[in-house]
Amino acid sequence: MAKGVKPRVKVPKTAAAGDTVTVKTLISHKMESGQRHGDDGALIPRSIINRFTADFNGQNIIDVALETSISTNPYFEFEAVVPEAGEFQFTWYDDDGSVYEAKKKIAIA
Amino acid sequence: FAGLPAVPAFASLAEDAISEFTGGTAPGAGDLSISAPEIAENGNSVPIEFDAPGAVAVAIFADGNPTPKVGAFTFGPLSGSRFASTRIRLATTQNVIAIAQMEDGSFQRAEANVKVTIGGCGG
């Protein structure tokens, strides 16, 4: 597992049923592109998060395939429909097989 | 050259990657829009966003990067819009290209030129 990986997610705590809400996610990760050379001149091997998914109550919102041109600490902002109260689930998949998860509950106001 | 696949003359890496995404279909213009800063001082983190009404998926390409594929966004049933924003690396001044796959199977293309002061793939 890559070191110091920490997901952060921002979603509203409440929404009206059927509302569209803005979701912002950030995960701290080096996203080593495989293009850089280390101090010894050797190529540093690629090590990135290659997939990100966001779901709500088991239904998909967005599914992103990440390539090496995504910046360090991948950031995504997008919009989701909230049909009922429930839980967002966010999942990041690392090249090394690690899976990072974050969950956020939202209530209907 | 018998072992090499046939590639059209002048085909760039980015155009190859785009054809791979579209399956060779030529994209048209439409409501797809992509926005990026005109000038990016630091190519390590360039904010971009796109809006693609009616799209099922959007792929982003950077035609001046060593690997032009940036990412592909597929929208699910609970997506609230066909908008997304992220931050990308740009090695040099170049075009950022968005290709949207529409519900009817057609494709749209939009691009934005970004002038990069310090490249983001260095080392």
Contact B79 A76 (CB under 8 A): no
- pLDDT band for B9, please (50, 70, 90 cuts): very low
Domains of chain A: 6-34+43-108 (2.60.40.10)
Q: Examine the pLDDT at B123 and tell me if it is beyond 50.
A: no
Q: What are phi and psi of A43, to 5 degrees?
A: -70, 130
Choose, out of A53, A76, A78, the residue to mutate when testing the contact with B (most B CBs < 10 Å): A78
Residues 61-100 of A with CB under 8 A from B: 61-72, 74-83
Q: Which DSSP state fits B25?
A: P
pTM for the whole structure: 0.91
pLDDT digits (tens, 9 = 90+) for A34-49: 988 889 999 999 999 9
> Mean pLDDT, chain B, as a whole number?
90
Contact A59 B81 (CB under 8 A): no
Q: Once rounded to an integer, what is the mean pLDDT over residues A41-63?
A: 96
Contact A27, A100 (CB under 8 A): yes
Q: Which residues of B touch A66 (CB under 8 A)?
A: 71
- pLDDT band for B4, please (50, 70, 90 cuts): low
pLDDT of residue A2: 62
ipTM: 0.94
Contact A70 B79 (CB under 8 A): no
Q: Once rounded to an integer, what is the mean pLDDT over residues B12-35?
A: 94
Rounded CA gap, A2 and A13, in Å? Answer: 30
